[in-house]
Structure 1
Amino acid sequence: MLKSLDPVKLTATIGQYSSAGRKATNQDFHGAIVPDGAALIMKGIAIAIADGISSSPVSHIAAETAVKSFLTDYYCTSDAWTVKTAASRVIEATNSWLNAQNRGIEDRDHAHVTTFSALVLKGQRAYLFHIGDSRVWRLSGRNLEPLTTDHRLASSQSESYLGRALGLRPSVEIDYRRLEVQPGDVFVLTTDGVHNSVSPRKIAASVASASDLSSAAAEIAASAYEAGSGDNLTIQIVRIESLPEDDLEPVFDGADSLPPAPLPRVPCDFEGYRLHRQIHASNRSHIFLASVPGTGEHVALKFTSADLREDDSYLRRFAMEEWVARRISSAHVLKSGQPLLPRHSLYLVTEYVDGETLAQWMADHPRADLRAVRDLIGQIADGLRALHRKEIIHQDLRPENLMIDRNGTVKIIDFGSALVAGVHEAAPDFDRGHILGTVQYAAPEYFLGERGTEQSDLFSVGVIAYQMLTGKLPYGAAVARTRSRKQQQRLRFDSLREIRPDVPDWVEGAIRKAVHPDPVKRYQALTEFVYDLSHPNLKLVGAGRQPLMDRNPLLVWQGLTIFLALVIFGMLLKDYI
């Protein structure tokens, strides 16, 4: 039995039982992990069960491999990933390994094949993953509600076979389901040796009346044996005792609970560093150039804003910048550093980028060369893809948050507004109701209260590309004033070629698509946008071209007035003659 007693955490009681039953060997396998600290918040509690096919002498290896690899590797995946992404990738990798062991084996009855079902409890939800005919149930009153569907195909009235299992084919289709949960909810996982011999109502009665879940599991397995089951008998019972609050302190190693560091008066020594000068100041942060004594290595130290030191949400996001940076490895994403000494106050250490912001570069290149724009946008896209692979949306891409070093390498900085899928899953209220980015570059969907997506970051990249070429914004300031889909549909793209006639029309078409008000009509991949900036896509030529009335209504009305004046003059002249 496993149980945690901290009422503010996710806690659960787990009872488990497994035996060979009437068989000589047990080809089932099961397991559960209840971690602590950050792993409990970001990964949750994992329970898994597997049933190797009876005809194979190595199916017990397949079942054990499936459960052990899931329970081990799932907790090694990125904390930034959602449960669905992390678990699915681990299951797919296990399937590939098992299937590889079956190469050259023509008889499936001697293959590494197993059913597999897993339950992950994280935050205030349950996540189910299922392949085969083991089952996951939820206690509902006096009965069990089935949450999975058996993947069995009937070959005759009396015979059936597994249509889906781990190791059966090179790729596997995983049934996935997400459920809201409450304290007191009970889940049951069984192999077919149990649920083919004991009715759901009887299992539910045993669970509901049990004071000890392990004893209940053993009792249910005994009932299956007495009912004549000739298969292995495995059952897991999970009861949720309490659900967590949105407390992410262990995730950020307690950094967000440290008092903000006082702003230093340079030059000075600070927690092992030598601070030389301030290199950036805004209403949100202060950055100083520092060096490491002995090596002379330059780093940047970032301090909180003096005006926001009492804002808990701001301090938590400030701490999350470091958390995000440590999980990304890319030449185009700012790297986080490790403090020289144990921290006694909240500040961040990052690599020092000797260069300038894209905003300064744009001021120095008001009519940027198209080749330079392509190069910079390509580098920004590379950095973004590194973030997106970890299911992190930057949400505040703007020229001030893009650094260009002396070698021309672009680095994305400032992750204080980032949306991390795994963190959002653990704490849904973390940034609810806030437009965290800069409004001039924020995608229209943010102003409707929607969550950011990869297409939201793409919109910002498109705006930056447009601005590098023209010095203006594609919709002016109109996007920030929209609060409905209907208003956004009326947004009018200012033709890039009217400002820069030297830019090819297909480049304008690519940028127009990237900044479309509807995220569905934008590029679905950054690579497509980068490619179309350098390769003529004739489908984009003239696409979305606005009528003259929309582009220049004053000119239309002036022309119409002149035309009507000429008509009236002609009529008067005719009467006079």
Structure 2
Amino acid sequence: MTLRLAVGQHSDAGLKALNQDFHGVAQPTDAQARSRGIALAIADGISSSPVSQFASAAAVRGFLEDYYGTSEAWTVRRAAHCVLSATNAWLHAESQRGEGRFDKDRGHVCTFSALVFKGREVHLLHVGDTRVYRVHATALEPLSQDHRVRAYGGQTYLGRALGLSAHLDIDHACWPAEIGETLLLATDGAYEHIDAALVNDTLATHGANLQAAAEALVAAALARGSQDNVTVMLVRVESLPRDIAPPVSRDGLRLPPRLSPRQQFEGYRVVRELQHTARSQVVMAVDDDGREWALKLPTAELAGNARELDRFATEEWVARRVDSPHVIKAAPAEAKREHLFTAVEFIHGQTLAQWMTDHPQPGLDEVRGIADQIARGLQALHRKEMLHQDLRPENLIIDRHGTVILIDLASAHVAGLSEGLGDARPLALAGTLQYTAPEYFTGDGGSPISELFSLAVLVYQMLTGALPYGLQVPQVRGERDLHKLQYVPLRTRRPDLPEWLDRVLKKALQPQAARRQQALSEFLHDLHSPGAEFMQRDRTPLQERHPLLFWRGLTFVFGLATVVLLGLRVSGR
């Protein structure tokens, strides 16, 4: 089953000479509907402005067109916010060029509401006093909130609207869609003159014909005395998808055979095998132009594992949407494939794991340089609302020029692809456990701050060759276990390193995400230019700072005291 909607919409200027309302429904392609959803919008220009009809038309048209130009990796909320913020900036700039510069009531200003149906969810975007309702048998349930401010004397005015100011604050709500539910969008010229009884009677009269029902409701609002423009939109959910298909369909793609050197495969010539496991084979291959690629192919063991096969279908998709020298690049999609596999650039270099073997006690500057590059790769993913989720030494390659590159995007979480089934948060444990942040184990799910934790683990390991919590983190099962984690101070393993560095890393490795630095850039700044909080001498008791050293010292003191007492006793005899 797929997402299908029934829509009816109608607008009338009513008693006014000019209709300053505007409305519309997107007509996306099947691929766009799957990846971005189906959008509809309504806007109402303020009646005091002679140009607000241009604002409402620009708001609706701009949203319905530009929304589908945003990255499929983005969530509905982020995509809509970017589009509406751009529209708001343009409208406000237009107002500043005209009468609206001195009188906001005469600027390019309108109220706006939109619904985006994606997967099995509905998203509401709203600013102003257009309204969205859910239709019940005896009531109209308001889903939006009017942004009107009550002034002295009972008068009200718009507190928020598109084009009203340079800053835009947009309401967003999301809820599970239900087959058969009907939603109503209306401007104030309509909703002030209709009620639940009228809406339900109209729907009953016209049955499945929502277009006729919308026209009837507009006519009824005018007949009941509306003095304003009147616009009504009705939308009913006809069917919903059972699940969300991967962005790149693997339908019709066969599992590949095991490849051997010199074998021709899908336009590539195999040079040599790089790795072979029960789940995948990785080979180096060249194309007709002599360019080198790494091909990753699923084995027959995965024939019945739909989740793992979907990873192969999406890994290249993720790589193509991130443009960074620090993230692996995918091969161009030049020809239709017959088999399921991933093709990415082949990088001459060594993994970070190999580098650490060759550099058992590196200098701080070397480690900071590597950390900076890893962070830039992560930031490129985060800007697309993606998480790598498997940050470990084996998934980082340092090429011949010293560039650090993130590889293996099979575990990446893409918020825009995950939403639609009720929870877009990255909850599943996807990466290597000892580098995974504790919040994954407590069920809170990951975030960019979780990847900050993983990066801090790598920095600690590069400096010491060990893990800051050993193997304690994978044993976490709940909030209580977080307090049992014992951080091993950096300087117990590298006393030559500065004290402030230990404090910076300890903060980044806090079990509670809220207590860490709150951005990768903040962590990097602390690594290079530590602030006063890290430069002050640590007044934490030795037992907490260095528990192992504390107990060793205490044992030594007790042992020495015992020897002294025994000596005194012997001499006393």
1:248 to 2:245 alignment: yes
CA distance in 2, matches of 1:518, 1:155: 45
The one-letter code of the counterpart of 1:71 is L
What does the per-residue CA deviation read over 1:163-216, in whole Å, with 9 as the maximum and x for residues that have no partner?
A: 211001001111221222211111100001101222344234423553111111
Is the partner of 1:149 in helix, strand or coil? Answer: coil
Q: Find out whether 1:221 has 2:199 as its counterpart.
A: no
Distance in 2 separating the partners of 1:392 and 1:16: 37
Structure 2 residue corresponding to 1:266, chosen from 261, 266, 280 = 261
Could you tell me which residue of structure 2 aligns to residue 561 of structure 1?
A: 558
1:236/1:290 CA distance change after superposition, 3 Å: same
Q: Which moved more, 1:64-73 or 1:254-263?
A: 254-263
Q: Select which of 340, 352, 355 maps to 1:358.
A: 352
Query: Using a 3 Å threshold, how does the CA distance of structure 1 residues 119 and 339 change in structure 2: closer, same or farther?
Result: closer
Report how far residue 563 of structure 1 moved.
5.4
Q: Secondary structure at the match of 1:461?
A: helix
2 CA distance for matches of 1:192 and 1:433?
Answer: 42
Identify which of 169, 194, 200 aligns with 2:165. Answer: 169
The answer on whether the counterparts of 1:14 and 1:238 sit within 8 Å (CA) in structure 2 is yes
Letter in 2 for 1:54: S
Distance in 1 separating the partners of 2:231 and 2:423: 38
- Which residue of the partner structure matches residue 464 of structure 2? 470
The normalised TM-score by structure 2 is 0.94
Alpha-carbon distance, 1:384 to partner: 0.3
> How much is the aligned-residue C-alpha RMSD, in angstroms?
2.2
Cα deviation for residue 550 of structure 1 reads: 2.5
For residue 330 of structure 2, what is the aligned residue in structure 1?
A: 336
For residue 551 of structure 1, the aligned residue among 543, 548, 553 is: 548
Say whether 1:292 aligns with 2:292.
no
- Could you tell me which runs of 5 or more consecutive residues in structure 1 were left unpaired when the two chains were aligned: 1-7
1:538 is aligned to 532
Give secondary structure in 2 for the equivalent of 1:547.
Answer: helix
Whether 1:98 and 2:91 are equivalent positions in the alignment is yes
- Determine what percentage of the aligned residue pairs are the same residue: 44
1:524 aligns with 2:518: yes
Q: Describe the SS at the equivalent of 2:429.
A: coil
Q: Distance in 2 between matches of 1:532 and 1:226?
A: 67
SS of structure 2 residue aligned to 1:561: helix
Matched-pair contact (CA < 8 Å) for 2:325–2:377: yes
Distance 1:72 1:39 in 2: 12
* CA distance, structure 2, for counterparts of residue 313 and residue 124 of structure 1: 20
The residue type paired with residue 152 of structure 1 is R
Aligned residue pairs, count: 566
Paired AA for residue 349 in structure 1 = A
Aligned partner of 1:391 among 367, 385, 391? 385
2:46 counterpart residue number: 53
Matches within 5 A, 1:452-491: 452-491=446-485
Shift of 1:68: 0.6
Which letter maps to 1:154? R
Quick check: 1:339–1:349 contact (8 Å CA) kept in 2? no
Q: What displacement does 1:535 show?
A: 1.1
Q: Which moved more, 1:230-239 or 1:97-106?
A: 97-106
Tell me, what secondary structure is at the counterpart of 1:31? strand
What amino acid is the match of 2:329? K
1:354/1:406 contact within 8 Å kept: yes
- Give the corresponding residue for 2:6: 13
Secondary structure of 1:102 counterpart: helix
Q: CA 1:255–1:392 in 2, change beyond 3 Å: closer, same or farther?
A: same
SS at match of 1:103: helix
Any idea what SS the aligned residue of 2:184 has? strand
SS in 1 for 2:434: coil
Q: Is the 8 A contact 2:252 2:338 kept in 1?
A: no
Please name the residue that 2:307 is paired with: 313
User: What is aligned with 2:76?
Assistant: 83
Equivalent residue number for residue 183 of structure 1: 179
Residue aligned with 2:491, SS = coil
Q: Which runs of 5+ in 2 are unaligned?
A: none
The C-alpha deviation readout for 1:268-303, integer Å capped at 9, x for no partner, is 21111121112333444322222222x222222221
Tell me what 1:238 maps to. 235
| Separation of aligned partners in 1, 2:345 and 2:539 | 43
Separation in 1, partners of 2:185, 2:540: 54
CA 374–521 in structure 1, closer or farther in 2 if over 3 Å, else same: same
Query: 1:568 Cα deviation (Å)?
Result: 5.0
The equivalent of 1:127 in structure 2 is 123
State the distance in 1 between where 2:153 and 2:558 align: 84
Q: Distance in 2 between matches of 1:566 and 1:491?
A: 35
Match status 1:113 vs 2:109? yes
Indicate if the aligned counterparts of 2:109 and 2:161 stay in contact, CA closer than 8 A: yes
1:103-140 Cα distance to aligned partner (Å, 9 max, x none): 14313343111110111111222111111111011112
In the alignment, what sits opposite 2:195? 199
Question: What letter corresponds to residue 74 of structure 1 in structure 2?
Answer: Y
Q: 1:144 to 1:571 in 2, by over 3 A?
A: farther
Distance across 1 between alignment mates of 2:334 and 2:158: 57
1:143 Cα shift? 1.3
Letter in 1 for 2:199: I
Question: Which letter does structure 1 place at the counterpart of 2:90?
Answer: W
8 A Cα contact 1:271 1:340, kept in partner: no
Secondary structure of the 2:419 match is: helix
Deviation at 1:546, TM superposition (A): 5.7
Matched, 1:412 2:409: no
Letter in 2 for 1:203: V
Residues in 2 aligned to 1:467 and 1:386: alpha-carbon distance in whole angstroms: 23
SS at 1:307 equivalent: helix
| Residues 348 and 428 of structure 1, relative CA distance in 2, 3 Å threshold | farther
Q: Which amino acid aligns with 2:56?
A: A
What amino acid sits opposite 1:190 in the alignment? A
Give yes or no for the alignment of 1:507 onto 2:504: no
Post-superposition CA distance 1:220-249 (Å, at most 9, x none):
111111111111110000111122121314
- Look up the equivalent residue of 2:222 and give its one-letter code: Y
Q: Single out whichever of 157-166 and 211-220 deviates more from structure 2.
A: 157-166
Secondary structure, aligned partner of 1:426: coil
Offset at residue 305 of structure 1 (A): 3.8
SS in structure 2 at match of 1:91: helix
Amino acid paired to 1:67: V
TM-score (normalizing by structure 1)? 0.93
1:143/1:205 contact within 8 Å kept: no
Deviates more, 1:448-457 or 1:435-444: 448-457
Correspondence for 2:367:
373
* Secondary structure, counterpart of 1:497 in structure 2: helix
**Equivalent residue in structure 1 for 2:486, among 475, 492, 498:** 492
> Any idea what SS the aligned residue of 1:440 has?
helix
Q: Which amino acid aligns with 1:486?
A: R
Between 1:73-82 and 1:555-564, the stretch displaced more is: 555-564
Residue 442 of structure 1 contacts residue 460 of structure 1 at CA under 8 Å; is this kept in 2?
yes
**SS of structure 2 residue aligned to 1:50:** strand
Q: How does 1:134-153 map to 2 (within 5 A)?
A: 134-153=130-149
Partner of 2:328, secondary structure, is coil
1:445 maps onto 2:439 in alignment = yes
Q: Give, in whole Å, the separation in 1 of the partners of 2:386 and 2:540.
A: 31
Cα offset, 1:525, TM superposition: 0.3
In structure 2, what residue type is equivalent to 1:354? H
Alignment partner of 1:278 is 2:273: yes
Cα distance, 1:202–1:180 mapped onto 2, change above 3 Å: same
Cα separation, 2, equivalents of 1:122 and 1:429: 13
Given that 1:142 and 1:205 are in contact with CA atoms closer than 8 Å, whether structure 2 keeps it comes out as: no
Once the two structures are TM-superposed, the CA of residue 318 in structure 1 deviates from its matched residue by: 1.8
